[in-house]
Amino acid sequence: MGKETPLFDRDLSWLSFNHRVLEEAADSSVPLFERIKFLAIYSSNLDEFYRVRVASLQSISGESEGADKNLLEEIDSLVQVQQEQFGEIFLHQIIPTLRDEGIRLNLNGNFPRTWADDLRRYFMDKVVHLLHPTLLKKSMVRPFLSNGSLNLLVELHSRRPLKNANSVRKPKYALVGIPDSLPRFFQRSDGLGGYDVVFLDDVIRVNLGLLFSGYTIVHVHSFKVSRSADLGIEDEFEGNLVEKIRSSLSKRKEGVPSRFLYDEEMPAAMLGFLVRYFKLENGEPVPGGRYHRFSDFFGFPNPFSPRLERPFPQPLSVPALDSYSTMFEAIKKRDWLLHFPYQKYDYVVEFFNQAAFDPKVVEIKATQYRVAPNSAIVQALINAARNGKRVTVFVEVKARFDEELNLLSAQRMEQAGVRIIYSHPGLKVHAKMCLVTRKSRNRKRLRNYAYVATGNFNEKTARIYSDQGYFTSDPEVCGEMEHLFRELHKPTGLWPFKHILVARYNLVEEFKRLIDNEILMAERGLPAGIYIKMNNLEEEGMIRHLQTAAEAGVRVRVMVRSICRLVPNGIEVRRIVDKYLEHARVFCFENAGNPRVFMGSADWMGRNLFNRIELVIEVRDSQWSKELNDVMEIQWRDNLSARKLKSDLSSERIALNGEAVRAQTAIYDFLRDSSQSS
């Protein structure tokens, strides 16, 4: 191989992805309320980026000067440019378009005086009892600014007469938190078919005089603090990890400030007081507008719903699968591939429910990474244990931001008799898998039924994440999954898997072997191609292997949603951002005209390949292998929502040569037509 191509920085690559999200908000062809949601997604993503990645870089750069310091400066510069674009989109595109549709978002307190009674009534009925205004004095305990909370800093002047002409009136400052328990937006009809919307912030602002009688309100400005999401577990390898995580969850809310966002109109003296009083010197100060936390725009009211939105189509049934009386009968007959959210996730829930009540089922094993609140799958596992089944669930308690929910669901299952295996120190289990053991018809033999997915056992995210799930009773696959569950109980790292790909065992070696095979095919003049889809492509060794394949004449195509360190030099990289979050990991190898298609949980990041348990399986059934490959090709033909990644990390539209294709619509139509013809 010649001179190695440099790689993108992972954090700058992520920022380019978030900028791609912002581009959707700017696209006038996207329905208005979808554009508003993309603003919310951008804001939510950025806040988590500062809590996780920037907080980590700040911690490192605080200990030493150099590359991390330079990277932080580059991040700040890029984010500043993006924030200016965000403001331009919001103020000059979204708000005027809302107005054209009969929805007036009134900003900066610019609403008619005739509203005063309505706003005061709402304030007194719904808001005032949730407010805890606090005068900020050195002698008092300093209020804690929780992560992401919205606050108003109020400058007050006493109305008492000055003692003499030489006296100087000193300002007082007060803190008013904007309550999270109320909608961020107040909506009212104008009686003529239109609607007015006001930020809750402004409802509070115009009524502050009711809170501070005896004072003149001079300035009111908003601010927000983001805190590090690090749980601060000093030693993951000693003691009870579950108890350490449980006791550390409260500390996350108290993490060190990683970003301090304030109203740029705030006077310098007021800003200086705020920084000193709350000791925000270490937080990254970012000047912004009057309003913060645009992730609240997920809840922006649409009085004309579903107009101005892109509706979710009804998930498809699979008639061939419905023709069987039970999921076990269907899976015994053949493998089944499902595509979410295009097809019903009900089949997965039903698989668990039937396993819970089928008298022939003797054992259920499953992993839990991120489950839905009030999860139907967790309830099915509880029911199974209560019905006398042996149920074992491996619960990953280190799934960031889902630790508490996972601990609570594990506790519920454990109380019902489910055997819970918790995280291993230094190791995450990210595999999405379930194995059900069932007696045969004559009750003399046992048969395994497996489910493997690219997404979590989460019926909530299955409605908005694009994923695949695969049912099989293949004895070779199921047999090795049984060994994998034993490894989760007592990891050895030594089991010789042959029919499934498992990170930290054989996954990296098998993927490299598959790539090498395509290189060999290209050298022999046979059809050779690699087409992979994942969330993140970061691990240098795998990237270099792909580059070697491309140099050898293999056509390499990459569909990556988020982080991509691979510079598109001889390899085309595309990214789809649309209504559904592209979450699947699929790997297609041409193999001289006899394609091999794999799917599973593993991104190609160092953490996934070497520090986690990930599971990838081959789609062996030729019908489903072709179908999954066809779905991938539809995505590659997307010339509306897809963008081509350029060597400067910017995005380029795909040329509209011929038919316009929006993959997420086309896949739904393809699956609907396929099910009707089968």
Q: What is the pLDDT of residues 513-564, one digit of tens each?
A: 999 999 999 999 999 999 999 999 999 999 999 999 999 999 999 999 999 9
Residue of 642, 623, 614, 212 lying closest to 431 (CA atoms) = 614
CATH number, domain 501-677:
3.30.870.10
The CATH number assigned to the domain with range 319-489 reads 3.30.870.10
Q: What are the residues whose beta carbons fall under 8 Å from the beta carbon of 519, sequence distance 6 or more?
A: 528, 548, 549, 552, 554
Q: Is 602 helix (H, G, I), strand (E, B) or coil?
A: coil
The two three-digit tokens of residue 522, written as one number:
């290209």
Task: Read off φ and ψ for residue 198, nearest 5 degrees.
Answer: -130, 140
| Sign of torsion over alpha carbons 57, 58, 61, 66 | positive
pTM of the model: 0.91
Could you read off the pLDDT of 332-364 as tens digits, one per residue? 999 999 999 999 999 999 999 999 999 999 999
One-letter identity of residue 599: M
pLDDT under 50: residue ranges of the chain? 1, 232-239, 244-245, 252
Q: Which one of the listed residues 221, 339, 430, 583 is annotated catalytic? A: 430
| Bridge partners for 652 per DSSP | 644
3-state secondary structure of 199: strand
User: How far apart are the C-alpha atoms of 593 and 571, rounded to whole Å?
Assistant: 20
* CATH 3.30.870.10 boundaries in the chain: 319-489, 501-677
pLDDT for the residue 235 = 41
List the one residue out of 667, 595, 668, 605 whose CA is nearest residue 632: 667
Q: Is 483 a catalytic residue?
A: no
**Token reading at 629:** 């490959």
Alpha carbons within 13 angstroms on the beta-carbon side of residue 530 total 31
Nearest C-alpha neighbor of 519 from the set 436, 592, 568: 592
The predicted pLDDT at position 146 comes to 87
**pLDDT, position 285:** 78
pLDDT of residue 237: 40
d(CA 478, CA 452): 10
Q: Which helix (H) or strand (E) is 79 found in, with range?
A: helix 67-89
How, if at all, do strands 195-199 and 103-106 pair? parallel
pLDDT value at position 309?
94
Taking each helix axis from N to C end, the angle separating 403-415 and 241-252, rounded to the nearest 10 degrees, works out to 140
- Delimiting residues of CATH 3.30.1840.10 domain(s) in the chain: 10-299
Rg over alpha carbons for the chain, rounded to the nearest Å, is 28
pLDDT at position 51 is 85
- The CATH number of 10-299 is 3.30.1840.10
User: Please, are residues 212 and 156 in contact by the beta-carbon 8 Å criterion?
Assistant: yes
Given a contact cutoff of 8 angstroms between Cβ atoms, the answer to whether 176 and 204 are in contact is yes
